[in-house]
Structure 1
Amino acid sequence: MSKKGAISQFIEKYYLHFNSATVVDAAKEYENQLAQGKKMLVSLAGAMSTAELGKIFAEIIRQDKVQIISCTGANLEEDIMNLVAHSHYKRVPNYRDLTPKEEWDLLEKGLNRVTDTCIPEEEAFRRLQEHIYKIWKDAEEKGERYFPHEFMYKLLLSGVLDQYHEIDPKNSWMIAAAEANLPMVVPGWEDSTMGNIFASYVLKGELKASTMKSGIEYMTFLADWYTANSKEGIGFFQIGGGIAGDFPICVVPMLYQDMERTDTPFWSYFCQISDSTTSYGSYSGAVPNEKITWGKLDIDTPKYIIESDATIVAPLIFAYLLNM
């Protein structure tokens, strides 16, 4: 194993208790899982792409420290939006103090706010729309069907966006994923901006809904992938909560209970970074032990909950994995 760098040494020295200690424990066990030949699923919720997680996550992909990704439609597209429109983004550090009128003014300027960052509609959404529509339409005319992420891979690998690059392409995790043809599931893609745009073309009669592969097809793909890759074990590293995590983790009880494949192994590792408080009925706020009762985790599965901001914690864990 390579010698750990300054960041890793810092957290090992000073992150000794409570959430900070869990950061180190979870990072070490993630590394241990890979060393044992296990694979890792990383799920991305929230707005991690707009938070520019790609600056470090792209290298995690390139170094084969993640073997499959589950992400929201927003994270799928927002990494590419940042790639082509970064200079047009507007940061709003005082976002907590904005009045409804100030929020409306941002809308009228075509700036859609994500916490302290505004995504420019014209330079981001519409620029992608022009090119992705052609790829959707071309596939339909050929009688071909693809998953949402596969269309995005085609868009990135076609080179049509190269002229618009406003950040170093090595900082785009979607480019890294496309180049590796990394397996991915994107549950609930329809509620993303590109999903809404695709639906608008269906409503206008310009595209068929069937051209886009569905969430059920994502689940059946994941079931086959999990079955083929789980001999040594597959870990689950969850950033945030919601559907990006809930969708893929359910593949295990589905295979075990509904398909009656009783030899299906449980997830071999579980870590969630979340600021959700433990609460009644909340998936994001459920402690890992509850997942045992749903047939997702085993009694002895290493389990970690880091109650913190994922934009702070995830880069630290990835830095540890990269020996930084």
Structure 2
Amino acid sequence: MSSGLPFVAEILYNVFMKNETTILGLFQKLFHNFNSRAMKDATLAYKKHLDDGGKMLLAMGGAMSSAQMGITLAAMIKEGKIHAVSCTGANLEESIFRLVAHDSYKDYPDYRYFTKEDDEAILNRGERRVTDTSIPEEEAFRVMEPIILKYWKAAEAKGERYFPHEYFYQILLSDELKGKYEGNPEHCWLLEAAKKNLPIVVPGWEDSTLGNIFAGYCKAGEIKPSVMKTGVEYMMYLYDKYVELSEGGAGLGFFQIGGGISGDFPICVVPSIKYDLKKPVRPWGYFCQISDSTTSYGSYSGATPNEKITWDKLTKETPMFVIESDATIVAPLIFEAILDRYTLTEK
């Protein structure tokens, strides 16, 4: 609607007189209590941690890659706002599945009303449903299987061993997938991580689709299990990376999406260095968890941060935040607030 000013004057008014803000500014304007306040405070503390020279590890559970978290996460990695990742094997592989098979994914917004027969039909179509979307088996799993199998066999022939994520890095940095992209490469967080050789740990990788496929080839005698470095070796690797990343500034922070092994595994590195290696170590410099898990039945995923103090994983001085909400909503908002890519104009 026109303000009644001449055209040029209206443009100048829009540029100079209208109230403009950032996403972080919008947080500060709108979010004052309950989970919205926790999100705002966690974001401000995240920003301060980085401004004070700290670094951040992202622990990512759930099916965030299938939920297209890469749209914001890739930019966070590219811009140096995340410096290490711990994730499930599913999140690792599903980042690359989205890259090569994005157009073949199907969404099911009405999944809550599905019958067992509806889901059986999805199975018979070669789709693997993840809440309201589905991974296409032929376009994703079967495209990647022969490619990664070649890398596993090449490693065996050379007597080499790599971590699960390192095989993905090798593929992404080669020409193997050239011409096979269906997704936007700028939205592939694993591709950005590969470009930076970002430290990654993938505890429990074996329970992923490609982890199952690897186990099958090992059982059939086609590959030796020794070509894959183990979870114990991941912890040994994390010892060194934690010490390196926690040097200087505000240390290394811990930003957790969901619960489970992707968070449980890396947070143990501090007490393990302290008690098992008997070496001095800086505590985690920041902690935030986005989760909808409840604190009950001994659930570690739902445990309050204070409980981690008793395990010497956090200290009473650690900035701690728990956001009990949907990570697919909260995490992209926090990431965009940190990235500061948008200017919002009040009409």
TM-score by length of 2: 0.90
Change (3 A) 1:152 1:5: farther
Offset of residue 280 of structure 1: 2.8
Corresponding position of 1:19: 35
Corresponding position of 2:25: 9
Q: Secondary structure at the match of 1:237?
A: strand
For the pair 1:54 / 2:67, whether they are aligned, the reply is no
Change (3 A) 1:5 1:214: farther
Larger Rg: 2
Pick from 277, 287, 304 the counterpart of residue 294 of structure 2: 277
Q: How does 1:106-145 map to 2 (within 5 A)?
A: 106-145=122-161
Tell me the alpha carbon deviations over residues 53-91 of structure 1, each in whole angstroms, 9 at most, x when there is no partner. Answer: 111110100111111100000000001101111111111
Backbone CA RMSD of aligned residues: 1.1
> What is the alpha-carbon distance in structure 2 between the residues aligned to residue 223 and residue 281 of structure 1?
27
Figure out how many residues of one structure are paired with residues of the other and give that number. 320
Offset of residue 180 of structure 1: 0.7
> What is the alpha-carbon distance in structure 2 between the residues aligned to residue 169 and residue 118 of structure 1?
20
For the pair 1:201 / 2:246, whether they are aligned, the reply is no
Pick from 83, 87, 111 the counterpart of residue 71 of structure 1: 87
Deviating runs (4+, > 4 A) in structure 1?
Answer: none
For structure 1, the 5+ residue unaligned runs are none
Q: Secondary structure at the match of 2:300?
A: coil
User: CA contact under 8 A between 2:22 and 2:337: conserved in structure 1?
Assistant: no
Q: Amino acid of the residue matched to residue 261 of structure 2? A: I
> What is the alpha-carbon distance in structure 1 between the residues aligned to residue 144 and residue 169 of structure 2?
13
> What is the alpha-carbon distance in structure 1 between the residues aligned to residue 85 and residue 109 of structure 2?
30
Q: How does 1:92-103 map to 2 (within 5 A)?
A: 92-103=108-119
Offset of residue 42 of structure 1: 0.5
Corresponding position of 2:277: 259
Offset of residue 6 of structure 1: 3.5
> What is the alpha-carbon distance in structure 1 between the residues aligned to residue 285 and residue 72 of structure 2?
24
Corresponding position of 1:31: 47
For the pair 1:234 / 2:255, whether they are aligned, the reply is no
Identity %: 56
> What is the alpha-carbon distance in structure 1 between the residues aligned to residue 127 and residue 245 of structure 2?
42
Q: Amino acid of the residue matched to residue 190 of structure 1? A: E
Tell me the alpha carbon deviations over residues 255-280 of structure 1, each in whole angstroms, 9 at most, x when there is no partner. Answer: 1112222x212111100000001113
For structure 2, the 5+ residue unaligned runs are 1-19, 343-347
User: CA contact under 8 A between 2:89 and 2:204: conserved in structure 1?
Assistant: yes
Q: Secondary structure at the match of 2:129?
A: strand
> What is the alpha-carbon distance in structure 1 between the residues aligned to residue 247 and residue 68 of structure 2?
34
> What is the alpha-carbon distance in structure 1 between the residues aligned to residue 100 and residue 21 of structure 2?
32
Q: Secondary structure at the match of 1:46?
A: coil
Corresponding position of 2:316: 299
Q: Amino acid of the residue matched to residue 208 of structure 1? A: K
Q: Secondary structure at the match of 2:316?
A: coil
Offset of residue 97 of structure 1: 1.1
Q: Amino acid of the residue matched to residue 312 of structure 1? A: I
> What is the alpha-carbon distance in structure 2 between the residues aligned to residue 6 and residue 223 of structure 1?
38
Q: Amino acid of the residue matched to residue 181 of structure 1? A: N
Corresponding position of 1:104: 120
Q: Amino acid of the residue matched to residue 95 of structure 1? A: Y
Q: Amino acid of the residue matched to residue 294 of structure 2? A: T
Offset of residue 5 of structure 1: 5.2
Corresponding position of 2:266: 248
Offset of residue 116 of structure 1: 0.3
Q: Amino acid of the residue matched to residue 46 of structure 1? A: G
